[in-house]
Structure 1
Amino acid sequence: MWDYTDKVLELFYDPKNQGAIEETSEPGVKVATGEIGSIACGDALRLHLKVEVESDKILDARFQTFGCTSAIASSSALTEMVKGLTLDEALKVSNKDIANYLGGLPEAKMHCSVMGQEALEAAIYNYRGIPLASHDDDDEGALVCSCFGISESKIRRAIVENNLTDAEQVTNYVKAGGGCGSCLANIDDIIKSVQQESAKSPLNGHSAKTTTDIASSKQRPLTNVQKIALIQKVLDEEVRPVLIADGGDVELYDVDGDRVKVLLQGACGSCSSSTATLKIAIEARLQDRVSKNLIVEAVEPSLR
């Protein structure tokens, strides 16, 4: 039997916000829906958000899920967490936040919290009218796990965001490798590749620490010079290649305390999803690699 926390069991036996939100044509309010997973794979989640258009605030959230105890509890927890948040604030909710809200999940059930995070992102992007192809790269690149339809990009994201170090952990987070097992060797190779990439180009050529090690060090807080250098490093190595591939780019403009000012260029500077680019592609990555307190803002080209 799984060792569930009291909070997990509470939300399983008495789930909050279960059901759908119907579109009622209420003035100034819209309903957004995001779906993730499939019944064939064992877990599926449909998330409904009721959004106040003028303020971008989530007025209500409900879920429909097919899955285990952890899936129901994670979905219920997510709806409680996002009510009252703006869409940009909700985009910052990670799978680790969901698990922490529940007091922890068995590692083999962490994929349920990942499913919640992905459904939330899908709902918000759908609300903003952003095509799936412009933000969801799970269908791009090689398919690694044919049993569950998991691509290399999704596996890489799980490894980076959750600091995974072995194939068993990857299976726990995204299910890849949990079927026939024939892809486990490929998953090991992906893990090694991610670790090698994060170990490249030590800061200023003097330290062997990865960006994650430096950012998470509590013994030596970053000086302002180190913070700026690390922000530039993350932008150059992890953010810009992704944006450039989509016809955009980003330039570091200024760092004022925890406020990071950037200049969006190319397609990123003119597309309707520029806010999502700031929060998902840039701010979330910098918060994970440098400091959770960082806030990223875009500056107008005329201010340069």
Structure 2
Amino acid sequence: MASANSLFDDMRSKPEVIDPPQTEDMTDIGETVNDPVQNAIKPNVAAVSSSVRELLECPVCLNAMYPPIHQCSNGHTLCSGCKPRVHNRCPTCRHELGNIRCLALEKIAASLELPCKYQSFGCAGIYPYYSKLKHEGQCSFRPYNCPYAGSECTVMGDVPYLVAHLKDDHKVDMHGGSTFNHRYVKSNPHEVENATWMLTVFSCFGQYFCLHFEAFQLGMAPVYMAFLRYMGDDGEAKNYSYSLEVGGNGRKVIWQGVPRSIRDSHRKVRDSFDGLMIQRNMALFFSGGDRKELKLRVTGRIWKEQ
């Protein structure tokens, strides 16, 4: 847990100190058709498609199957990933699987077109069966992971949901405006084996940004790091820039960069050193006094690129 003496003060308010560290529903797709025969057929087509999709579900892992699809001599199928897990025995009838491919089912799968599993999040796309998985891995409507660092939070959702989640469940500090002036104080900066994680959410330009500030051990050297993440996709994050400044005793260090999308995990951003980093000796120099207490003032600004 963070030191009881750790404090990360906003000049206007006090942020939080944080301890460190399918089912897919088939929908009827198509334009409106006035032909009564066509309209009568549509429910049957949907039912057939749903049945085929059930056949394409692996009985072991329950995921959709992709070539090669294996079958036993009795016609029971399973995916290639699960075949070694069942020791080459059919999980349904226990017969030996051998190396029989279910080519008919593979061809039927190739003829299917299905909605994205993130349809409920707003994706209206329809994709061929064998392209659907790749699309879903890149779909811009797929939910985001909670950006709260150090808690192993498993909550996922769209940005408005996560903003409410951060505020209500993690009690993070919420700020309006594109500038900030924070102060980080630690009475014993030599104790950094238990990292201090802090998060503040900023609302500006109709978007949300997460400011991280933490202490951690880089090899044998304690360091302090601050960086900004954008609550949205990487393509949108590149429309913004930010600067961070820390200093004292007539000196200062300035960092300017582009906020990283929360698609990139907190750890990935931290380990890429994509932010303002200060080693302990320089941080103590900026703090002044007898170098026994850390007092860092971090100011920053977010702006939109033209």
Q: What interval of TM-score do these two structures reach, taking the shorter chain for normalisation?
A: under 0.3
Which structure shows the higher strand fraction?
2
Instruction: Determine which structure has more spread, i.e. the larger CA radius of gyration.
Output: 2
TM-score, with length taken from structure 1: 0.20
Q: Which has the higher contact order (CA 8 A, sep 6+)?
A: 2
